[in-house]
Structure 1
Amino acid sequence: MSDTRTVRAGRRTVEVHRPDKVLVPAPEGGGGEALTKAGLVAYHRAVAPFLLPQLRGRPLMLERHPDGVDGPRFMQKNASAHYPDWIRRVEVDKEGGTVRHVVCEDTATLVYLADQACLTLHRWLSRADAPQRPDRLVFDLDPADGADFAQVRRAAHDLGELLDELRLPFGLMTTGSRGLHAVVPIRGDEDFDDVRAFAKDVAELLAERHPDRLTTAARKKDRGERLYLDVQRNAYAQTAVAPWTVRARPGAPVAAPFAREQLDDPALDARRWTVADAVEQARTKPWAELTGRGRSLGPARRRLGALRG
C-alpha cells in the first residue's frame, strides 16, 4: 500500500502522506471508530462548505498531533516555511515582533492542514484586516469538575435569557471538550479591551442573578461547584476553537453549533457530535440567523446599565 495519496480539492491536488496513520483512537468500549489522517481529510472535505465561512479571513492557531493524540501536541502560530505558496499567511503584531499565521481560505488548505496532522483549528475573534477589532464575542461555559451536563444546559438558558434582554443574537456550540460556547456576532467597531469589559459585565450580572450556580472567579479554588463564566478569550491574539473543527479526544468529537431548541435534548453534551454525524448536523444550518452583520454593543451596553441599576 502506498504511503502517499493525492486528493483533489477544488482546483488543486494535495498529497496526503501516511493516510492510514491513526490520529484519534476509537473510544473505549466501542461506539465509534478510530480517525485516520485519511478520515480527517474526508471530514474536512465534507464539512468545508460550513467550516470555511467560519475561518475565512481569520488568523489561525494550529493544534497538531503528528503521532496522534497519544503523542506530543504542538500549538503552532507561525506558518511553517515549507507550506506551499498558495496557502495564505497574514503577519500580525505580537509583543516584541510579529507572527505569520495561516489563514484558511479554501478546501485545499483544509486538506493540506489535515496532512500536517492539524487536528483542531483555533480561530481569532477578529479578522486579518482588522486584528484589533473583534467581530465575535465568546462566552465559555466551563462546568465544575464532575458536574452533570445539566449544569451547563441550565447556564446556557440563563445566559440566553440575558442576551435576549440585551437584544443580542447568539449561537450555541458544543466545544467537543467540556462545556458550551455562546458566540455573539458583533459589528467590529470596538477594540478588544472594550469588548472584553462588556462581556465581563454581562457575566458578572448573570453570576449576581444566580450566585449559587454561576461564578466569574478566575481561580478554580474559588469556584466550588459553580459553573465558571469565562470571558478571557475576548482578548487580542487569543483564540477560540472554531465551529466544526475536530477535538483531540477519543471518538473524534466535533465543536458543533446547534439550534437553541436543541438545548433541552437530554442527549446533548459537550461531545454530542463527532466526525460521524457532524456534517449531518451542519446541514441543518443551526446558525443561519447569524449570517448578517453583527450588532453594535452600544445599545446593549445601555440596556445592561439599566439592568444593573
Structure 2
Amino acid sequence: MVREEATVTVTGPQGARELRISSPGRVLWPKPGLSKLDLARYIVDVGDPFLAANGGRPVTLQRFPDNVDGEQFFSKNPPKGAPDFVRSVVVVYPSGRSHPQLVIDEVAAAVWAVQMNTVVFHPWASRAGNPDNPDQLRIDLDPQPGTGFAEAATAAVELRSVLAEAGLTAFIKTSGSRGLHVFAPIEATREFLAVRHAVIAAARELERRMPEKVTTAWWKEERGTRVFVDFNQANRDRTMAGAYSPRALPNATVSCPIGWEELDGANPDDFTVITVPERLKSTGDPWAGMHSSAGTIDALLEWWERDLAAGLGELPFPPDFPKMPGEPLRVQPSRARSKG
C-alpha cells in the first residue's frame, strides 16, 4: 500500500527546506473541510508574523492524531525524530522539575510540528535565552456565561487605559473563541511570580473601575455574569494560544492580533485559517514592532504593594501548583461555608 504524502517548500535563513507531510488529506476541521496539508500551507503563508510572535520561545504543542473533535494531548518535551534544525531549551516547571521544550527558530520548524499533528501552538511569555523572566505581560479576558466577546471588548478598552497609566503599551488579539488576550512588552528582568503580581494589580484596578462587568474571582460560583480576568495565565508554565495560532474549534478560528481601532465591531469568527493569510497581505501585522520598546512593571508592583497594605493578599494558584506563600485555602467557597 502506497502511503499518501506531500511536500511543502519552506524558505528560511538557511535557504529552502523540503518538509514531508504525511496523510496530507486527513481532515483536521470537518466543518470547513480543512486538511493537514491546508494547515501546513497556512503556517507558511503567515510565517513571518507567526515567527515574530512565537519564535525563540519555549513552546508547548497541542496535538491531534485524528481531527480537532478527537483525541488530543499536549507535548512539552520535543517530539521524537526532530530534524537537526529544530532545537529545545531546558525550562523549570512549578514543581521544580526541569525538562526541554521545543523552540521554533524558523518557519520550517513550525511546519514540522504540523507534520507531528500539532494544531495549536502555546508559547511561553519568556524567551529561550532567559526562560525564567517573561518579556510579555499577558492578561486573558475570559467571558463567563451570560457575557461574550462584546463584553470582553469593553473590558479590554478600559484595561488598555489601566496599563497606560502604569506606563505600559497594550496590544490585543482575539483568543480564537469568545475572549480577548491583552499583551504588553516588558523588560525581562523579573521572574514569573513578580509578573503574576503585576497582572493581579492591573486586574484589581480594572475590577475597581468596572465592578459590575469584570471580576478577579477565581471560583466560578462567585464570578456571575462578568468577564473574568484570568490572572493565573501569568504563571510559569501557563500558556495561551499564540498569535496567529489556529484553534481546535469547529470553524478553524485563529488567535488573531487586531488593531485597537478594529476592536469595535470585530467578530472573532471572521479570523480563520482561510481568511487570515489574505488579511495579513491587505492590512499587515498589527503586532509588528511590538518589542521595539519595552516598559517595566514597577508601577504595577507598587500597586500590588499598596493593595497588600490595604488587606488584599495573594490569590489562589492553579490546583497543580505547590502551595504558595500567602495563598488562601484552595477550597470552593460554598464548600468552605458548609464545613464551617
CA deviation string 1:115-136 (max 9, x = no partner)? 1110000010011111110001
Match of 1:277 among 275, 278, 298: 275
Match of 2:22 among 7, 11, 17: 17
Alpha-carbon spacing, 1:15–1:50, altered in 2? closer, same or farther (3 Å): same
What amino acid is the match of 2:27?
Answer: V
**Contact conserved, 1:257 with 1:286, CA < 8 A, in 2?**
yes
Alpha-carbon spacing, 1:158–1:178, altered in 2? closer, same or farther (3 Å): same
Match of 2:77 in 1: 78
Q: Percent identity?
A: 32
**Contact conserved, 1:172 with 1:181, CA < 8 A, in 2?**
yes
2:42 corresponds to 1:37: no
Match of 1:29 in 2: none
**Contact conserved, 1:60 with 1:121, CA < 8 A, in 2?**
yes
Match of 1:89 in 2: 88
Matches within 5 A, 1:122-201: 122-201=122-201
Counterpart-to-counterpart distance in 2, 1:144 and 1:90: 36
Kindly state the Cα deviation for residue 301 of structure 1 after the two structures are TM-superposed.
4.4
CA deviation string 1:267-291 (max 9, x = no partner)? x233330011112333422123523
CA deviation string 1:147-168 (max 9, x = no partner)? 2422111111111121222231
Query: Where does the alignment leave 5 or more consecutive residues of structure 2 unmatched?
Result: 311-340
Query: Where does the alignment leave 5 or more consecutive residues of structure 1 unmatched?
Result: 27-32
Counterpart-to-counterpart distance in 2, 1:118 and 1:162: 36
TM-score, normalised via structure 1 length: 0.91
Could you list the structure 1 runs, at least 4 aligned residues long, displaced by more than 6 angstroms after superposition: 303-309
Match of 1:264 in 2: 264
Match of 1:117 in 2: 117
Kindly state the Cα deviation for residue 300 of structure 1 after the two structures are TM-superposed.
5.1
**Contact conserved, 2:197 with 2:301, CA < 8 A, in 1?**
no
**Contact conserved, 1:145 with 1:225, CA < 8 A, in 2?**
yes
Counterpart-to-counterpart distance in 1, 2:3 and 2:245: 28
Alpha-carbon spacing, 1:4–1:134, altered in 2? closer, same or farther (3 Å): same
Alpha-carbon spacing, 1:304–1:200, altered in 2? closer, same or farther (3 Å): closer
Higher strand fraction: Structure 1 or Structure 2? Answer: 1
TM-score, normalised via structure 2 length: 0.83
Counterpart-to-counterpart distance in 1, 2:77 and 2:155: 36
CA deviation string 1:151-209 (max 9, x = no partner)? 11111111112122223101110010220000011011111111110110110111112
Kindly state the Cα deviation for residue 299 of structure 1 after the two structures are TM-superposed.
4.3
Q: Secondary structure at the match of 1:126?
A: coil
Alpha-carbon spacing, 1:306–1:279, altered in 2? closer, same or farther (3 Å): farther
- Kindly indicate whether structure 1 or structure 2 has the higher relative contact order, using CA contacts under 8 Å at least 6 residues apart: 1
What amino acid is the match of 2:175?
Answer: T
Q: Secondary structure at the match of 2:25?
A: coil
Match of 1:30 in 2: none
**Contact conserved, 1:93 with 1:99, CA < 8 A, in 2?**
yes
What amino acid is the match of 1:13?
Answer: E
RMSD between superposed Cα atoms in Å: 2.1
Q: Secondary structure at the match of 1:252?
A: coil
Q: Secondary structure at the match of 1:167?
A: coil
